[in-house]
Structure 1
Amino acid sequence: MGVTTKRPSARERLLDAADRLFYAEGVHTVGIDRLIEEAGVAKGSLFYNFSGKDDLVAAYLAGRDERRRARIARHTEGLTDPVEKLLAIFDALHEAVTSPGWNGCAFANASAEAAPDSVEAVAQRTYRVWFSDLLLELATEAGYADPAGVAGRLRLIYDGAVASSRIDAHPAAALVAKDLARLVLEAAPRT
C-alpha cells in the first residue's frame, strides 16, 4: 500500500502563492489572475476563502508577522538576561537577512505604495507596535534609567540593519547592528 499525501487546501495554496509572489515582486504588482494561476485554484476558490485581494494581502502579512515573532522567540528562548534577549533579536534578524530569497522587510515593501489606512499599513503598524513594545519591555526589565530612549535607539539600529541588508546587499549588517546595540546597552545608565 502506497503512502498518500494530502494536497494542500485551496486556501493554503493561495497563501503559499501569495507569500512567494507578494514578497518577491510586491503586493501591488501581482494581480489576482496570476495568484490564482500560480496557486492552481479556480477563481471562485479565492473568493470563497478571502473577501478579495486585500483580505489575502492581510493574511499574507499576518503570516509574515507570525513567522518573524516565532523567529525572535526562538532566538530569545532560554535566555534570562533581558540585555541578552535584546541582543538576540539581532541574531534573529541576521538569520532572516541571510536566508535565501531575502528581499527586505515584507511590511515596509507592502506598505511602500499603500494608503495610510490600507491593510498593508495596518499590518505594518501592528508589527511595529508589537516590536516597539518588546524592546521597551526588555529595556525596562533590564533596569535602564530611560528604557524608552534605549528601545528607540535599538529600533533605529535594527531598522538601519534591515535597510542596509537589502539596499546595500549587506547581509552582515545585522551583526554590525548587534555590535552597535551592545555599545548602546553598555553606555546607557541603569537605575
Structure 2
Amino acid sequence: MQRTTTSRARLLAAAEQVFYEQGITKTNIDAVARTAGVTKPTVYAHFASKSALAAGALEARQQRVAADLAAHLAGEDPGAPRLTALFTWLASWYEHSSHRGCAFLNAAAESAADDVVAAAVRAEKEWLFEVLHGLCEEAECDSPGELASQLLLLIDGVAARVLVHGPGRATEATAAAAHAAAVLLATASQSHDQS
C-alpha cells in the first residue's frame, strides 16, 4: 500500500509540474511517467485517462494553494486587513510558484472541451470565490457576493497579465489589483457604514 501511495504522489507531483510547464495538450503520458520515474502502466493503474491525471494534478495544486493561502491569512487581523493581505499573498505566489500564470485558467483554455479537466478548474474557482466571499463577510462589506465576484475578476486579471507579459509583471499587476481591491472594499465598507 505504501508503494502505491508513493507512486500516486510522485505521479501527481510530476503531472502538476509537467502539465504546468509544457501544457496539458502538448504533454503525453510518457513524459509524465518519465518525470515521475514510473512506467506507463503504473500511470494507468492510478488514473483512468490523461484527463483524470490532469484533473488530479489540478486538485493537488489547489490543495497546496489553499494551505499556503490559509497559512498566510492566519497571521493577519480579521476583516479588511485579511482581505487586502490576500493580494500580498498573490504577489508572493506568482513570484515563487506561478510564472506561467494561473494553472487553472491555462488548463481551461487548453482543455475547454474536456469535462473532467473543466470540472477541476470550476472547483478551484468556486473555492476561491467562497474564500473571497467569506473574507468580504468578515470585513462586513455590503453585497459580499458581488464584491467577491469583482475581486475574483481582479485575481484572474493578474493571472492573464502574468501569462501574457511574463512573471516580471506579477508585482506590478498584483499592486494594481490590490489598489483596485482597496477602492472596491472602501466603497463596499462605506455603503455598509451608512446603512
**Shorter chain as normaliser: what TM range?**
0.7 to 0.9
Alignment of 1:70-81 (within 5 A): 70-81=67-78
1:96 to 93, 98, 113: 93
Q: Is the 8 A contact 2:24 2:111 kept in 1?
A: no
Alignment partner of 1:171 is 2:170: yes
* Structure 1 Cα separation of the partners of residues 137 and 30 of structure 2: 48
Match of 1:67 in 2: 64
* Structure 1 Cα separation of the partners of residues 83 and 137 of structure 2: 11
1:131 to 128, 131, 134: 128
Alignment partner of 1:35 is 2:32: yes
Question: After superposition, what is the alpha-carbon deviation per residue over 1:50-100, rounded to whole angstroms, capped at 9, x for unaligned?
Answer: 222122112100111011111211221033322111111111211111116
Aligned residue type for 1:123:
A
Question: After superposition, what is the alpha-carbon deviation per residue over 1:119-151, rounded to whole angstroms, capped at 9, x for unaligned?
Answer: 211011111111111212221222222222222
Q: Secondary structure at the match of 1:171?
A: helix
Q: Is the 8 A contact 2:108 2:117 kept in 1?
A: yes
Q: TM-score, normalised by structure 2?
A: 0.85
* Structure 2 Cα separation of the partners of residues 117 and 85 of structure 1: 35
Q: Secondary structure at the match of 2:21?
A: helix
Alignment partner of 1:143 is 2:140: yes
Aligned residue type for 1:119:
V
Gaps of 5+ in 1: 1-5
Match of 2:184 in 1: 184
Task: Please report how far the alpha carbon of residue 116 of structure 1 lies from its aligned counterpart in structure 2 after TM superposition.
Answer: 5.0
Query: 1 or 2, which has the higher helix percentage?
Result: 2
RMSD: 2.0
Alignment partner of 1:46 is 2:43: yes
1:161 to 139, 158, 161: 158
1:55 to 52, 56, 59: 52
How many residues are treated as equivalent by the alignment?
Answer: 185
* Structure 2 Cα separation of the partners of residues 15 and 124 of structure 1: 16
Task: Please report how far the alpha carbon of residue 101 of structure 1 lies from its aligned counterpart in structure 2 after TM superposition.
Answer: 5.8
Per the alignment, do residues 83 and 39 of structure 1 end up closer, same or farther by CA in structure 2, a change over 3 Å counting? same
Q: Secondary structure at the match of 1:104?
A: coil
Q: Secondary structure at the match of 1:86?
A: helix
* Structure 1 Cα separation of the partners of residues 67 and 17 of structure 2: 19
* Structure 2 Cα separation of the partners of residues 166 and 133 of structure 1: 24
